[in-house]
Amino acid sequence: SSGSRDEILRDKRARVVSRGLPKQKPIEGVKQVVVVASGKGGVGKSTTAVNIALALAANDSTKEVGLLDADIYGPSIPKMMNLKGIPELTPKNLMRPLKNYGIACMSMGFLVDETAPIVWRGLMVMSAVEKLLRQVDWGQLDYLVIDMPPGTGDVQLSVSQNIPIAGAVIVSTPQDVALLDACKGAEMFRKVHVPVLGLVQNMSVFQCPKCKHETHIFGADGVRDLAKTLGLNVLGDIPLHVNIRETCDSGQPVVISQPQSDAVSLVHCAFNDRKPSPRS
């Protein structure tokens, strides 16, 4: 029948497309990998990744959590996690992550001068990503949160195709321009068979500290509307709050420095309700 012929053709196409793709290999010692991504830069992806990692550890002290900064051109995890230094090497020539607030961290920012630009072509960037994935001694981690670079390019594909990922979190502001790219990011993960845990609406509202009037600077509920269109969950609304910016800039993320704040309760509740279940 035509139906069976179409099915055979689809299977054949899938085999042809998958031919030559790398086999997924887990990162040694890591149980679950969660990637935090965005289509567009400047939407607070790294800030969200840092606070998600800290929230995971804070909600269960028995869990070991790591944080990998995969943004080669613009690494920001060292500053946000208040870390400086060069990783030590193990006898097996693996890099030891630097640690703060109980989180094991690795970033290209530890390997180059703080003010030095990374002026590399694609092949060098992919080599660096491979080293960050495979040449780090993470010990035993329950969760590794990966702060992805913005966009849907080589790094995103390489990470998605080389290691098993439990789920992806997409961060966006409610602005239409950001939503266009957030949609592309979500669809990219679906195409490479990575579950999308949901969307985070960042900078959702600004409250005047004096009169308490609320202003939707980047628009209202754009991420919620996109989530409905894509059939995804909204993990939470994070306000545009000066404390979130100041604490990350000072290397004392809000989850650690202001654990009782409203923004922190959103991070705790939203992500921990949707975190990936352990693999069997």
Looking at the domain assignment, is residue 248 inside a domain? yes
Q: What is the pTM of this model?
A: 0.85
Domain containing 169 equals 26-273
Looking at the domain assignment, is residue 88 inside a domain? yes
Structure tokens at 103: 């989180």
Summarised one tens digit per residue, pLDDT across range 7-24 is 777 677 656 555 555 678
Looking at the domain assignment, is residue 213 inside a domain? yes
d(CA 196, CA 160): 12
Looking at the domain assignment, is residue 98 inside a domain? yes
Domain count of the fold of the chain: 1
Structure tokens at 73: 């051109």
Residue % of the chain over a pLDDT of 70: 87
Looking at the domain assignment, is residue 6 inside a domain? no
Residues 118/121/127/131 CA torsion (nearest 10 deg): 10
pLDDT at position 120 over 90: no
Q: Is 279 exposed, middle or buried (0-12, 13-18, 19+ CB in 10 A)?
A: exposed
Ranges of H-type helices in the chain: 2-18, 45-59, 77-80, 122-134, 154-162, 176-191, 222-230, 242-249, 254-257, 262-274
pLDDT at position 75 over 60: yes
Looking at the domain assignment, is residue 206 inside a domain? yes
Pick the closest to residue 122 from 153, 91, 147 (CA basis).
153
Looking at the domain assignment, is residue 2 inside a domain? no
pLDDT at position 279 over 50: no
Q: What share of the chain is helix, strand, coil (3-state, %, to 5)?
A: 40, 20, 40
Model pLDDT, residue 196:
96
d(CA 98, CA 87): 6
Model pLDDT, residue 100:
96
CATH code (residue 66): 3.40.50.300
Model pLDDT, residue 280:
34
Looking at the domain assignment, is residue 60 inside a domain? yes
